[in-house]
């Protein structure tokens, strides 16, 4: 049952005293990719009524997104990849470096390595507007049910609404602002 990942050759080695195909019913490996997302500006996106599961990066990740609705989705078994060095990551839903007119509603998010729902940014003057997080169920997460992480000195969030959510198992809400 022991395994080892060789990053030089991008290979996984599994130790087993017998034929692994005879011993295990399934062997699952997750790629270090976001299951759904875009690394550049996107707008007018609706993701509705799908199950996103078993990814070792983020479940849903948009960079610089606007007019995005994520509704009635199930997101599970997300995260755990190494970001750099010994730092690991993996959020259920992440909006990075800009989020305007965002709605996340009636989603079930669980077994998440990091946070379930998180708008984040690292620009010097990040601005996020009109974010609604409502009627979601989040549990079995490693960090937070909902988190805002902004590290810019002049960062601001305008019109943030987080209501009628159920967050249980560990910390509920975290707002991090770094002025150093």
Q: What angle do CA 175, 76, 54 make, to 5 degrees?
A: 120
- pLDDT tens-digit series, residues 71-125: 999 999 999 988 888 889 999 999 988 789 999 999 999 999 999 999 988 776 6
Mean pLDDT of 32-55: 92
Banded pLDDT at 134 (limits 50, 70, 90): very high
* CB contact at 8 A, 122 and 149: no
pLDDT of residue 74: 98
Q: Which residues pair with 78 in a beta bridge?
A: 55, 112
Check residue 8 and give its pLDDT.
Answer: 87
Percent pLDDT > 70 in the chain is: 93
Confidence at residue 180, expressed as pLDDT on a 0 to 100 scale: 46
Please write the tens of the pLDDT for every residue from 142-161. Answer: 988 998 888 777 778 889 99
pTM score of the predicted model: 0.84
Residue of higher predicted confidence among 28 and 93? 93
Of 125, 124, 163, 128, give the one whose Cα is nearest residue 148: 128
Mean pLDDT of 114-143: 89
pLDDT reported for residue 82: 86
> Is the pLDDT assigned to residue 129 strictly greater than 50?
yes
């Amino acid at each position: 049952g022991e395994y080892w990942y060789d990053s030089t050759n991008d290979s996984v080695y599994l130790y087993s005293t017998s034929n692994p195909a005879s011993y295990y019913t399934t062997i699952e490996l997750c790629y270090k990719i976001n299951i759904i997302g875009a690394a550049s500006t996107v707008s007018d996106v609706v993701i509705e009524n799908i199950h996103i599961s078993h990814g070792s990066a983020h479940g849903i990740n948009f960079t610089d997104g606007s007019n995005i609705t994520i509704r009635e989705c199930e997101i599970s078994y997300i995260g755990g990849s190494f970001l750099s060095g010994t730092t690991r990551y993996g959020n259920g839903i992440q909006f990075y470096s800009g989020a305007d007119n965002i709605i996340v509603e009636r989603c079930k998010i669980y077994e998440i390595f990091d946070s379930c729902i998180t708008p984040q940014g690292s620009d010097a003057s990040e601005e996020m507007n009109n974010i609604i997080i409502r009627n979601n169920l989040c549990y079995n997460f490693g960090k937070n049910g909902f988190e805002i992480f902004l590290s810019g000195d002049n960062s601001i969030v305008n019109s943030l609404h987080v209501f009628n959510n159920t967050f249980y198992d560990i910390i509920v809400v975290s707002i991090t602002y770094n002025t150093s």
